[in-house]
Amino acid sequence: MTAKEFYTYLYRLLKDVTPLEVDCGGLCDGACCKGDGESGMYLFPGEEVMYNGNEPWMKIYDSEFIFKDKPVKIAICNGSCKRNKRPLSCRIFPLFVDKDNNLVMDVRAKGLCPLVTATIPFEQYNPQFIHNVKRVFKILNNNKITREYVDETRKLIDEYEELDNIFKWN
Ligand code: SF4
Ligand code: SF4
């Protein structure tokens, strides 16, 4: 399977499902899609094949996050993507998995996403979203490279959480 086929399949799993059954953007005025021109989404390994580099709504750069001795690509959008082209990180947001592959909230979304800030229980999420995000992580974990990438990203999230806790104490 090529990278394009792989990500096309994952994109399809999260094509129409969103975290809540209602539009959660109404809770936060679409906080995760403000397109400030600075914050971006890390692309999964090889995911850049999904883009031709001429998307008027998004630019792809090398980030400072290193995986397998190479910079991870980061996509920075202007807040108005073509929905069917949005990166995988946007589709799984605001969730990730812990080391036992249990779904958890991505703490990097704290302070931005009300679902994470208010620790909304998964029972209140759209069950289809939860189901499909779990499926996506299962597929990512069945592939050696993407599994390693998920592990590295988790370390990054753990570091973020540690720093977040330090700031809480000060
Ligand atoms: S920030 Fe959270 S609540 Fe707001 S649109 Fe994004 S996912 Fe939904
Ligand atoms: S690519 Fe689309 S879904 Fe992702 S942050 Fe930008 S506007 Fe939002």
- The CA–CA distances, whole Å, from 89 to 32, 166, 167 equal 11, 26, 26
SS3 letters across the chain: CCHHHHHHHHHHHCCCCCCCCCCCHHHHCCHHHCCCCCCCEECCCCHHHHCCCCCCCEEEEEEEEEECCEEEEEEEECCCCCHHHCCHHHHHCCEEECCCCCEEECHHHCCCCHHHHCCCCHHHCCHHHHHHHHHHHHHHHCCHHHHHHHHHHHHHHHHHHHHHHHHHHC
Distance 170 CA to ligand 2 centre (A): 33
Q: What is the pLDDT of residue 169?
A: 55
pLDDT along the chain (170 residues), means of 10: 97 96 91 83 97 94 96 95 94 95 94 92 96 98 98 94 72
Q: Assess whether the C-beta atom of 105 lies below 6 angstroms from ligand 1.
A: no
Q: What is the pLDDT of residue 45?
A: 98
Q: Assess whether the C-beta atom of 93 lies below 6 angstroms from ligand 1.
A: yes
Distance 89 CA to ligand 1 centre (A): 13
Q: What is the pLDDT of residue 66?
A: 96
Contact 154, 101 (CB under 8 A): no
Q: Assess whether the C-beta atom of 79 lies below 6 angstroms from ligand 2.
A: yes
- Beta bridge mates, 75: 41, 60
